[in-house]
Structure 1
Amino acid sequence: MTQIVESEERFPLITSEALDELRSRIGEPFERPAPHVTEATADSIRHWALGIGDENPLWLDPQYARSSRWGEIIAPGTFLYAFDRVVSGYVSGMPGIHAMFAGTDWKWHRPIRLGDRIEAQPVLKDLLELKSNFSGRSVKQTYHVSFVNQDGDLVSEADSWCIRTQRDVARERATRESVKPRVWSADEIAEIDSHYENYERRGGTPRYWEDVREGEALPMMLKGPSTVTSFVCFTQGWGSLYVKAHGPAFEMFRKHPALGIPNDLGVPEPPERVHWDNELARAVGVPAAYDYGPERISWLGHLMTDWIGDDGFLNRLNVQVRRHNIIGDLTACNGAVARKWVEDGNHYVEVRLLAENQRGEHTAIGNAVATLPSKG
């Protein structure tokens, strides 16, 4: 019986030995893939912004940006996902154990300006063993990443974490097997289109701290319905984790054999193809191809920067990714002001954030802190 079970398992299991080996790496430097972006150019900023559906001219239009308080194009803070694979979900250790991106706690100290050359400095911060109804034994793997510009200034720092899950166990215990991708009617698509057409950002009109009320709701922002095309659009700006082709792909698989999962044609492809391959997604316990976690966090960042306006500054964005956003899902991004206060002459607001799909499931939750201009 044991031999039969072992032969049926496609993927490795989490072992105490593997966990102990990975714990020995905490605080140590490690080899990681090259970043997708190293400099904030007009092109790289545009690709990122449009990849998350953010058309704010502050990121895209030099003439408009020159008239703002910043005096030039700046980038949305979540653009830093493109500067480092680790903050985006790349994990080392325990080969063959699936990694599901689960959240980031961003803190920004200064804006990302056109021409900034930014280096990421990641380190493994913590490992926490969990018991999961989804996949049995699982591990929360957290990295701390600092982002430093060409002048040595700390631009941002982030704690980012993944949940490492046992793929075969997840498939057997998947709790969402009955969920099917949503099919939308023409009338429903027209209604979604109307929302996009009539949506308005705050833009250059200041949102003064004095005018904000605790409990105030932010205007809803829609994202989706999600498609493989929208995932590809995001990947063009972000760069992905393991998407490589031809010789570079085979070199990656030689160095990291567990990354090469044969497809139906016997050709190795990375586990990242769960984002466009329904079969592999189901093999790890998800009913269909699903989005990238950093994408959804960036949507909530987009909600915040549109609400605070071009004169505000997003200081913090702490979001947990709670559920998969599968193809066909429509996400409503919402927020409500939790509190406001003044500290060291700065006027802050804290906002509770929620991403919810058409089934009423909360797919991401979090909070944000922003600085607003004051009438005083």
Structure 2
Amino acid sequence: MQQSQHTRRAALSKPGLTSLISALVCAGALGCAPAHAETTLYLANVGGSSQDLFQKQIIPPFEKAHDVKIVYVAGNSSDTLAKLQAQKGHEQINVAIMDDGPMYQAMQMGLCGPLQDAPVMKDLYPIAKLGPQAVGIGMVATGIGYNADAFKKAGLPAPDSWASLEDARYKGKLGVPPITNTYGLHALVMLARMNGGGEKNIDPGFKAMTTKVAPNVLSWAPTPGEMDSLMQSGDVIIAPYGSGRAVALQNTGFPLKFFYPKEGGVALQVGACAVAGSGQDAVAQQFIQYLLSADVQALQAKAVGFGPTNKTVKLTPDVAAKVPYGPEQVSKLVAMDWTTINQHRTEWTARWNRNVER
């Protein structure tokens, strides 16, 4: 991805026509300024609206302040994790931004270097401290979204629990993402917790999903875009949803009502880490600290619906209403045990495919 500065300098130092031309130019009246080797930072993050925000508003001020060039490498979290694994020992990405599940995998694989302490770290909610190597730079939360107009027309009461997915009144109108989608995985774990289990005992979740939820499901839509389409067509009227996706659908004028179930919404954090051995640790650490600043956190909340992980951030009421925000709301969010989940996810996925989506 990046030719090293050493290699470039070596190439330019070879005698020949290039050197002769340079010598003649430098002998002129204007002389030559010393060559400046600009630092380049490779940043891996998702595409779409986040890429647009970063490239237009977040990256340029940092580049100017730190005399650095940032190259944006777009890809979803699983793509970025795969790149980090493939590049191990020959690191090219310097800062990786991923959802918390893949980020925990990256930390377990030794792909992330230690985070440096900084004053801004004291401003974070405890839930944002993913580990010694990664930190949450924004959060959304998984809850449930439903078509308020369709519910009113059918005379259905507003749902308030994860158990709503088991309600037979939604038979043929329920959408549930598969376990390969984080929202579907969150729903499975919350059903397990409600029935005496959890990440370390997932059986109650599979039992509820297989016997009580699956009979109601019209579609196991694998992507948020497909679930949005099913909602907009009226085929699905209720489904597990992420707060950010809910805001995007609401912004189209669709009457989606989003809520955090009484058992708790599930925190889904976007984490950042400095890639171990990438050779740009100092500027990588500075960039991560910059992402945690109140100004950048406020930009993310407004533009892409990320709740701030920095508790000093002040949001306008209209923005605050659309994201996980404030100590009271954040304290009610449930954190997943990703270490356990990642140990069993392949096994759970096979079990899901075998028993749930039949």
TM-score, scaled to structure 2: 0.22
Larger radius of gyration: 2
TM-score, scaled to structure 1: 0.21
Structure with greater proportional strand content: 1
